[in-house]
């Protein structure tokens, strides 16, 4: 019987993360050309044999979202036509995840559409990190491993904070309460949440109420995505106004869209901690932003998937 072979393929979305995974596994990235034709169309050519292999394609669908998504789909199609055994899409950041439901009339559910596109292209399995909402897994008819990152942040905080006695974990909204609770339980810290009361139009915020005792505490805000930075900046100011002495934030995915860096700089936040699921570019030069590498965590998970071993044994799933 011919043994199975594990191969790694990377697009252009986050090459440093792909190389981190490659180094952790001790497996070189596949030789491939992933570029553009003169008219802007995605050009993909796999430059080595992948016949019969289990190929893990590392490509977060981060900004520019549409370019990176099309790269992923076309890489998967190229692999399928090259007779691979299995394609696992490793999508550390799942773009379009915030379009997961119809919150008003006549809008799409784009997160479901992306799931359909991935399956149609030929993906057999998806590996992702900290989906915006866990229910997105139900949009797929194939297995989806959604790795939590609260254990990663818990380890970081334990390693960098010698005294946790005056700290509290805070969710910036009710929807993220489960994520905040898991971090608080791992660190044995109290929990608070910011409850937003909206205007009658459902858009403007009438008031924000703090549920929990934050006065005199150092607060850890935890969220899945920092995009424009507005939510974190506003939450930090509310906490300071309620007597919190220091605020930092832990966010899995650092999108940093538009003027996010300046918004965060102008806020009371002491620092923002993100993982490297997204290639951060200019944000990497900012001293108040710290990065936690997750390549080794992805590598361990890829190895267990390839060996048909339990993934939840390593990293609890949603």
Kindly list the catalytic residues.
Answer: 196
- Give 32-43 as a DSSP string: EEEEE-TTS-EE
CA atoms within 13 A on the CB side of 3: 4
Strand order in the sheet with 54-58: 6-10, 54-58, 86-91, 125-129, 144-147
Rounded (to 5) percent helix, strand, coil in the chain: 35, 25, 40
- Element at 210 (helix H, strand E): strand 205-211
> In Å, how far are 132, 139, 254 from 96, measured between CA atoms?
9, 13, 15
In 75-190, the DSSP E strands lie at 86-91, 125-129, 144-147, 167-171
Q: How many residues does the chain have?
A: 318
Strands (E) located in 231-288: 246-254, 271-275
Query: CA-to-CA distance for 17 and 134, rounded, in angstroms?
Result: 23
Residue written as token pair 């796999």: 46
Residue 236 dihedral angles phi and psi, to the nearest 5°: -65, -40
Cα separation, 250 vs 220, in Å, equals: 7
Query: Coil, strand or helix: which one is 267?
Result: coil
């Amino acid at each position: 019987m011919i043994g199975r072979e594990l191969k790694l393929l990377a697009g252009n979305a986050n090459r440093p993360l792909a190389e981190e995974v490659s180094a952790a596994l001790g497996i070189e990235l596949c030789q491939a050309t992933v570029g553009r034709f003169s008219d802007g169309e995605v050009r993909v050519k796999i430059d080595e044999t992948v016949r019969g292999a289990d190929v893990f394609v590392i490509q977060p669908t981060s900004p520019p979202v549409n370019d990176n998504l099309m790269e992923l789909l076309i890489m998967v199609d190229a692999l399928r036509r090259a007779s691979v055994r299995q394609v696992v899409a490793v999508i550390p950041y799942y773009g379009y995840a915030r379009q997961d439901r119809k919150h008003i009339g006549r809008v799409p559910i784009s997160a479901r559409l992306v799931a359909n596109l991935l399956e149609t292209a030929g993906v057999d399995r998806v590996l992702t990190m900290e989906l915006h909402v866990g229910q997105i897994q139900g949009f797929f008819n194939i297995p989806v491993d959604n790795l939590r990152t609260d254990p990663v942040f818990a380890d970081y905080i334990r390693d960098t904070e010698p005294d946790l006695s005056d700290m509290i974990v805070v969710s910036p909204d009710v929807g993220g309460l489960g994520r905040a609770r898991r971090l608080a339980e791992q660190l044995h810290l109290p929990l608070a949440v910011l409850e937003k009361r909206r205007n009658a139009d459902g858009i403007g915020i009438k008031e924000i109420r703090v549920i929990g005792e934050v006065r005199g505490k150092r607060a850890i805000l935890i969220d899945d995505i920092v995009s424009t930075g507005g939510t974190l900046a506003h939450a930090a100011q509310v906490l300071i106004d309620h007597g919190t002495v220091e605020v930092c934030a832990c966010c899995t995915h650092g999108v940093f869209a538009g003027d996010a860096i300046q918004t965060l700089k102008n806020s009371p936040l002491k620092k923002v901690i993100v993982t490297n699921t997204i290639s951060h570019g200019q944000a990497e030069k900012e001293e108040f932003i710290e990065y936690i590498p997750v390549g080794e965590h992805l590598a361990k998970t890829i190895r267990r998937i390839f060996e048909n071993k339990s993934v939840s044994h390593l990293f609890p799933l949603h």
